[in-house]
Structure formats: structure tokens, C-alpha cells
Chain A
């Protein structure tokens, strides 16, 4: 008993000493910080905790997001430095001057200002003369918000969230049902057997025991003997085999539903669907060129300079529903363009992404995107399906010649506001009694139009 007590006190002592050393270390680190930031003014160390309470962080968050967030992040370097606890590194008066007009401060020859200016590649920070000192205090209060602890979900918590859970329970229920079914069948057989045995023992003739069974012809013999039935089924078999053979032949060279694995898991669902980015934003050459080009990686970087990680719920969705770590896919993009997140600069080591082309026409056919999209005013979804809902891109239309021609027969030419068609529209619509012109009417079915 005494021994145990002693043991406990030893543990307590150890814990206490660990705690003491820890807190000492921490205070030492704090001392270092302040002396590092403000070597000339040791008073700052006492003023710092007071300053933290100045300003309204909630109002500051709003201001920060509308004015500063394009170049600054709190905990990470962006175009400008990370701003977390900037009040501990710089004087408040200096910050006022800097934020209101950094260029003037640099021009005045301020040593700190010039140091920062040169460190961040001489990129000019915009002047914000419209911000008052209280506004800036609010923003600075917001920059002191400590980093939220990332929610790392344990496997149990994830299982709770995940739809996997429901499928799991579904499987269990189905399994139980199957088991019950099997048991029922076994029981029925057993009952049947015992009943029969009873009947036999008691000498009861059951109707199932047919005495004439042997004299009856087997069913397949009866079938062969009935020539009409044979004929009908032969015709049916021939028709069915013709149907399937024709279907198989017609599927040759049709790649509908083709969805290869791409080198980067690019989700049209997120970009075109959730984020509502216009199709032509990335596939910009569709307006002018025969090719609706795959966007080059500079287009990716237009946005992904700022978006290095997806939102938390998007990330969870990717893991749970598609089994994809979206953040890793963004890292693949950075590797391809040679973007260094730490220094926010390009390293110059580039490697083109080898996308797999899904929509392939034989080289003997000429198809021009611009004339369909720009002149014809056809929506992208007409031919490519609801791309904004596709997690992985697949070929929606068959892209066969029959598919092309069918559309050329049914679609009216968009004649409005197109000076090129004025003459022919007038002439032909009189002749045809005002009927709309289809593309076939204008020669859209001629061989040379698509096959030279």
C-alpha cells in the first residue's frame, strides 16, 4: 500500500517536472519571438497582449476577404507574406502607413518596407486609402485568429459519415434475408419428406405418385413430334440470332460510353457543375477553331494559384463517393507545371499532362467546332451530354455518321442576324412557302462537305 502511494507520488513528480520544463520552454520561445520581431523596443513585449484585444475580428474577416485575401493568406505564403500574428512582428503605426499606401512608404526609404518589397519580388501592394485605422485594427484582429485545428476524422467517425455505412447495413439485411430463405427451403423439404414417409407407412396413395408416368412421353419427345412448334421456335431462333448478330456488327467502331482513366482525376462535375465555370472558359478555342482544345495548364493555374486545396466537404465527398483524394490531384497539376507552393513561384521544370482523348473521329472526316458552336449556336450539352454532371468524362453521343446526318436533317439553320444567309433565306423561303431551312437543304448532306 505504502509502496503504491510512493509510486504515485513519483509519477506526479515526473509529470510536474515535465509540465514545468514545458512552460519554461514556451516562455523562452515567446521571448525569442518578441525580441526577434522588435529588437529596438523591448516595451513591445508587454504591449503585445493588450494589442491583441484591439479591433473586431468578425468585421475584420469580412474586410480581409474582400480586400486582402487575393494576395495574403493567414498561415501560408501567397503573393504576399502570411499575415498570422503580424502585429507581433511590426509596429501598429507602421502597419497603418504600409496598408494605406505601401508605395509611398517604400519611396520614403523605410528600411523595413524596402526589405519586404524586395523579398517578395517587387510586386506592388495596392494602396488602400479608403480604409480607416479602425478598419485596419479590425483586419489585424482577424489576422490574430489562431489556425483552426484540422478535423482529422477517425475511421469510426468516417464510417458514421460515409454512405458506405448504409450499403453495409443493406448487405447485412440482404444476407439475413437470404439465410432465412435457405432455412425455409430446408424446412419445407424436411416437412415434405416426413409427410411422404407418413403416407407410405400408412399405405395412403398420394396423387403425386402417378402410375401412368412411364407410359407418358417425355416433354422433349412431345416437342419434336409437334412440327408446328418446332417451326415456330426455329423461326424465333433465327430472328433472335439475326438480331444479335446485326446488333454486334452495328456496335463495331462505336465508342459510346468510352471513359478511360486520365492521368489527373479531373472532375467536370466540380468545375462546370458546382463552380459553374463556363465551358468556353477552359475550352476557349471552341469559339474560333476546328478544335475545342484541351486547355493548357496556364488556364488551370489562373485559379489554382489560389486554390491549393479543395474545401473540406468537397474533400470528404471525393474520398467517400469517388475514392479520390482531390488535394493529391491538385498536387499532380503543380508537379506538371512546376509550381512551388512554398515560394509561390514556377521552378521551370515542366512536364505536359498526357490526357487521353475520348472523342475520336476517323481522320477521313472533317468536323469543325467553331462553325457548330459559334455560327450554329448549338449548346455543348447537345452533343457531349450533361458534362457538368460527369465526375469522369465519357463519350455521350455515338459520333457515327448516321447520328450526324440525322441532326443535319432535323435542325433548322440559325438564320437570325447572320448576313451571310440573308439572300438565300429570302430566295428559298419564298420557294418553299416560308418553311424553315434545315442544314440538309443547304447541302449539309453532301459527301464533300465532311469528307472532302
Chain B
């Protein structure tokens, strides 16, 4: 169905450019333009490791979690984990989420099957690995570290159960 009629829409349409709008002045007609490469905005720091095998190994060995492990960060991590990760990795991290159960996505490993460090967890969240995509656009730096805390907690639980 169509939109209904409007009566004197004086201030209905945006004069300025609004989020996600189109505009002829922009390249590609897209309002959301990318920031210049190499610029750093306040409250955000670029990620130092490259998206390749050396970067992964280096992050796995050297990268440390700057967010302290507190109750609050852990619960935040749990909430975020259930939003973004549990759909494939499962609520308890055993690799059997709903999409795996219904065989939409296959081959999700359990967290106890591989050696993981906090650095490697963050690295994979940032860049993705093989079939898994990057979650950098959906989460902030702090949120990714909170998820890392929670993933480590899940992994510890799984390892204790298994051994």
C-alpha cells in the first residue's frame, strides 16, 4: 500500500542530510561517506595487527585484554555474546547454536577444541576468520573485550566439564 496523503508538510522533509539518506552531492549518491584513511577519531584507537596469519599469531601471543575482569563487564559480555555469537556458537560455546542445529551453518568448532588466547579471540572478532565474518561493525572496542572475557569464561567451563 502507498503512504497516506499529507497536509501542508512544512517541516516534514529534512533540509539537512539525514542518516542513510541519498544526496546528489555525494559520490555514489550515498550520504554515509567513509572517513579518510588513516584518521583517528576521539575515543577510538586503530587496531595494530594485520589480517593475515602473522597478525593472528602475533595477536594470539602478545595482545592483552585492557578491560578489567569485573562482574559488570562479564554480564555485558554475556548479553553481547548471546546477541551476536550464540546463534552459531551456542549459548555455552560448544559450537551448537540454533543455526548449526538446523544445519544452516555447519562446522562451528567448540571453544575447547582449539587453543585460544584472549588476543586470538579479539583478533577473530575484529577481522573474522575463514567463513566467520568480522564483527567490528556491530561492536565497539570495549564490547569486543567484554565478549572476550565471556568467551574465556565459557571455555574454562567447557574444559572443566570435559576433563
Contacts and interface: CB of A to CB of B under 8 A. Distances in A.
A132 to B, nearest CB: 15
A275 B104 contact: yes
Interface stretch (A46-54, A68-76, A172-180): A68-76
Interface stretch (B58-66, B81-89, B148-156): B81-89
Contacts of B3: 255, 258, 360
Nearest to A307: B104
Nearest to A279: B83
A296 B103 contact: no
Nearest to A257: B1
A122 B14 CA distance: 49
Interface string A105-127: 00000000000000000111010
Could you say which interface size class chain A belongs to?
A: 35 or more
DSSP majority for the A interface? loop
B162 to A, nearest CB: 11
A363 B130 contact: no
B12 A278 contact: no
Contact of A67 (B84, B103, B104, B107): B107
Contacts, number: 125
Interface string A289-332: 00101101011011101110001000000000000000000000
A94 interface: no
Contacts of B82: 278
Interface residues of B, number: 49
Interface string B83-108: 11001000000010011001111111
Interface-centre pick from B18, B82, B107, B108 (highest chain A CB count, 10 A): B107
A40 interface: no
Contact of A363 (B13, B84, B140): B13
B6 A253 contact: yes
Interface in A270-295: 275-278, 280-281, 284, 288, 291, 293-294
A79 interface: yes
A363 B20 contact: no
Nearest to A284: B138
Interface of A: 65-72, 78-79, 122-124, 126, 130, 251-255, 257-260, 275-278, 280-281, 284, 288, 291, 293-294, 296, 298-299, 301-303, 305-307, 311, 352, 354, 357, 360, 362-364
22 contacts: A65-B103, A67-B107, A70-B109, A71-B107, A79-B130, A255-B3, A257-B1, A258-B1, A258-B4, A275-B104, A276-B98, A278-B84, A281-B84, A284-B137, A291-B19, A296-B137, A302-B128, A302-B132, A360-B3, A362-B12, A363-B12, A363-B14
Interface of B: 1-7, 9, 11-15, 18-20, 22, 28, 30, 52-53, 82-84, 87, 95, 98-99, 102-109, 113-114, 128, 130-135, 137-140
